[in-house]
Structure 1
Amino acid sequence: MSKVKFGLRGFEFGEVNAENKVPTTMKLTGMKSAKIDITNELVTIAADDGPYVVLSSGITGTQLEISVLDLPTEARKVLYGIEVKDGMEVYNKNLTPKDVACCFRTSTEDGKAIWIGLLKGKFSLPGMETETKDGSPAPKEDSVTGNFVARGDDENGDVMIIAREDNPAFNLEKFRAAVFPKS
C-alpha cells in the first residue's frame, strides 16, 4: 500500500574523522527543506538488433540541498572549520569544508518516521540573500548543497541509509550507530 510522506525535522550532523567515525553530533533547527538527488548512470547495450542488456555504474553522485532559516556560527564551525575571532566568523581563502555525516526524518500520513542518513560529504559555503523589509517580514533561507560519497571500503562503501519505522526490524539506535559510528 502506498503512503504519503511529508514534513522535515530532526536534522543532525557531525564531522567524519580520519577513521570514518563521528564522535560528536549537533542538531540544526530551522530547517525549511531538504532535497536529495542521486545519480545512477544506466547504459542500454544493443545486440541481436535490439536492446540486449542494461548496465549500471552504481551510484556516481549524491547531492543533498538543504535550506535553513539561519546557519548559526556553531554549525559553520563544524561544517567548514571556520575560525571565530572576536565574535567574527573568519573565512580564509584556503578554507576546505569538513567531511560530515547527517540524518533527518520525514513521516508518513500514519505518523511513522522515515529516517534518511548520508554518510560522508562536504557542504558548499552558503551565499546570502537579503532584501529590504517592505511591510511584513519575508525571511530568506540559507541554502547549501552537500556532495556525498561512500564512506569506508572503496569497493563496497555505503553512501546513504534509509530506515523506515514501519519496517518490523526497524531500530533507531542501530540506524544512528550506522550513520554516526562512535568507535
Structure 2
Amino acid sequence: MAEEVKTYRSSTGVDEFYYAEIDESSENVTNGIIERIQFLQNITVDMPQSAVRAFGDNVTAELAVSSGNITVTSGFHTLPGADKKRLLGLETSNGLTAHGSEDTPPYVACVFAKTYEDGSKEWVGLTKGIFLRPSINGQTKQTETTFSTEEISAEFMDRKVDGFEQEKSVIFGKDAKGETTNRDALFQAVFGKPYPSTTTTTTTTTSA
C-alpha cells in the first residue's frame, strides 16, 4: 500500500449534508432514499475523551481513555419542514405539526463534506444517532433585512460497519479534486447505498 502523502491545507467550507433512516428490521443499512438538506452553514462534531488514572504507591500506575458522548451541532440557512418531521419523528394532523413528550426520533446516519480551496473534499460519516428538537427563535425585522439561521443538534453512537473489526461512530475519507473513490466507499459504508448521483427537484406552478 502506498504511503499517504501529508498535506497541510485547511478546509474553507462545508457542503452536501445527507441523511437516511437506519433500518434495524432487515439486513439493509438504511431505509428509503438518502435525503439531502441544502445550505449547510456550519457543523461541529464533538468527540470528547478524557484520561482515567489508576494510582498506587503514590504514583500513577496505569492510564486508560474514557470516551464521552459524540454530539453533532449543525447550522443551516433553514431546515425544511419535511426534514424536521423525519428527523424528529413528529406527528402531523390536518396540516398541523406538533412536538410532544412522546415523540420518538428515528435512528439516522449522516454524511457531510468539508471542502478545500484546491477542490478536494473530506467526507465525514456519522453512523447512527438521533436528532434533538431545536429551539424556536424569532426576531423583529429592523432597518436592514437579516436572515435567521436554524441550528439542530444530535447525538451519535457506535454501529457495526462493514470493513471494520470494531463498531464505529465517525468515519472519514478524503478525495482529491475530481476523484470520488473514497466518497463512494464512505456512502456504501455509512448508508449501504451508493452516492445519490441525481437530485429530484419539485417545482410548484400556479395558474393565472
Q: What TM-score, normalized by structure 1, do the two folds share?
A: 0.86
Greater C-alpha Rg: 2
Q: 1:102 is matched with which residue: 85, 88, 110?
A: 110
1:1-183 equivalence runs, <5 A: 1-19=7-25, 21-23=29-31, 24-46=33-55, 50-51=59-60, 53-57=62-66, 59-152=67-160, 156-166=166-176, 170-182=181-193
In structure 2, relative to structure 1, the CA distance for the partners of 1:181 and 1:69 (3 Å cut) is: same
For residues 6 and 145 of structure 1, the distance between their equivalents in structure 2, rounded to whole angstroms, comes to: 22
CA positional deviation for 1:170: 4.3
Q: What TM-score, normalized by structure 2, do the two folds share?
A: 0.76
2:187 counterpart letter in structure 1: R
CA positional deviation for 1:86: 2.7
CA positional deviation for 1:75: 0.3
For residues 72 and 169 of structure 1, the distance between their equivalents in structure 2, rounded to whole angstroms, comes to: 28
Q: How many residue pairs end up in the alignment?
A: 179
Deviates more, 1:124-133 or 1:86-95: 86-95
CA positional deviation for 1:44: 3.7
Maintained 8 Å contact 1:81/1:97: yes
CA positional deviation for 1:49: 6.1
CA positional deviation for 1:162: 0.8
State the secondary structure of the residue aligned to 1:94: coil
Q: Deviations over 1:70-111 (max 9, x none)?
A: 211210121012123232212233112111110100123322
- Ranked by relative contact order (alpha carbons within 8 Å, sequence separation 6 or more), the top structure is 1
Relative to total residues, which structure has the larger strand share, 1 or 2? 1
Superposed CA RMSD: 2.4
Structure 1 spans left out of the alignment, 5+ residues: none
For residues 169 and 72 of structure 1, the distance between their equivalents in structure 2, rounded to whole angstroms, comes to: 28
Q: Deviations over 1:140-161 (max 9, x none)?
A: 21111100001138x9311010
Identical-residue share of aligned pairs (%): 23
CA positional deviation for 1:139: 2.0
Maintained 8 Å contact 1:14/1:78: no
For residues 94 and 84 of structure 1, the distance between their equivalents in structure 2, rounded to whole angstroms, comes to: 14
